[in-house]
Structure 1
């Protein structure tokens, strides 16, 4: 089913670029700050602190770019498949930190590109329901061509963002989009391209996202 709301391709590209820049600007800024400390400080402890900051921030920036390459980018030619093991690696790098723990249960197999992109994007959507952190559990079931995804996010003060269901369905609540909400809208586009239906529901202590083959 085609959504009634239509977004210009140039606007979609611009908003996704803004989203990716938002994800990497903080760690890149921290790298710059760390380099400035190395240049200006003579204190050994401050230099050690700056080096640790640079190393941590560089890893974070790299992880976020690797994730974006698959979740938002082409990541291969048309019709390409992606190894779920690679998807797990980039998902852990992007999501798992001191606030969020990722549990991943999936067979090691190659899956059509758009289905893997959807899985990764749904992990980001799940993360938006636990703003204070918690646990995200992702499970992939079924065959590569007709899988089922189940993602459960549990955390303190979990809530489903207003308008999320409409964004996934391709119908923004106020009829417009910005970089703050483009990601779930894009997830809906990927779902329809992959021939999958997405359902979001509140559960005790969190939320559950399910994607099934249409």
Structure 2
């Protein structure tokens, strides 16, 4: 990956971040404008509740981006899995009717593995357009981090372009802000000497990864 490709990927990830933050930050702005003009105590309380919700959503998304895309400053080479769990649980709590079921065998995981876990979880959340269950499992075995995410529901929506990005089938010119995160995971897995897999069924999307540690 040359410097130009790296810069383009960084730009696309920034575009994704801005897109996802636009709604909650915009809601904050609108809420403040309403609060400034509203005199009724009950309506002012409602405005404050909406502001609190929008602020929490913005903070939750920033925490996700910090670990899923960024350098995860403040941690060493490994990240406590409870950090990743808290981020995903927070994202789901304010959105669609999704039940998250965890099976994490380790207390800490390498940063790269945490990035894969978080992005897999986000792909799964996006796929469950009508809600469902999200099973997330991870363990360290034979010197490698093994991760699996299964999103199951009445309707599972998955962009095949994301699948191609995960498989490393898209070149730099084909990457968009929608597929940039998946492309990043493919690069990460390739650098680690590991691999990513996915399988799409009528009622479920399964994502898997094996990443050698160290």
Specify the TM-score bucket, using the shorter chain as the normaliser.
Answer: 0.7 to 0.9
Deviation digits for residues 30-83 of structure 1 (CA, Å, limit 9, x no counterpart): 111111111001112221111010001111100100111010000138971111
**Over the residues paired in the alignment, what is the CA RMSD in angstroms?**
2.5
**CA distance 1:124–1:23, change in 2 (3 Å):** same
| TM-score, normalised with respect to structure 1 | 0.87
CA deviation after TM superposition for structure 1 residue 125, in Å: 1.9
- Say which SS state the counterpart of residue 174 (structure 2) adopts: coil
Runs ≥4 in structure 1, deviation > 4 angstroms? none
1:159, 1:206 within 8 Å by CA — same for their partners in 2? no
Match of 2:13 in 1: 16
Match of 1:83 in 2: 80
- 2:71 and 2:172 map into 1 onto residues whose CA distance is 29
1:19, 1:180 within 8 Å by CA — same for their partners in 2? yes
1:141, 1:148 within 8 Å by CA — same for their partners in 2? yes
- 1:6 and 1:181 map into 2 onto residues whose CA distance is 19
Whichever structure has more helix as a proportion of its residues is 2
Q: Which runs of 5+ in 2 are unaligned?
A: none
Deviation digits for residues 116-172 of structure 1 (CA, Å, limit 9, x no counterpart): 111111111222322233221101133494121111101222133122221112222
- 1:13 and 1:27 map into 2 onto residues whose CA distance is 22
1:111, 1:144 within 8 Å by CA — same for their partners in 2? no
Match of 2:155 in 1: 157
**CA distance 1:157–1:6, change in 2 (3 Å):** farther
- Say which SS state the counterpart of residue 131 (structure 1) adopts: coil
Match of 1:43 in 2: 40
1:169-188 to 2 correspondence within 5 Å?
169-172=167-170, 175-188=173-186
**CA distance 1:18–1:206, change in 2 (3 Å):** same
1:63-78 to 2 correspondence within 5 Å?
63-76=60-73
| TM-score, normalised with respect to structure 2 | 0.87
1:166, 1:173 within 8 Å by CA — same for their partners in 2? no
Give the aligned length.
211
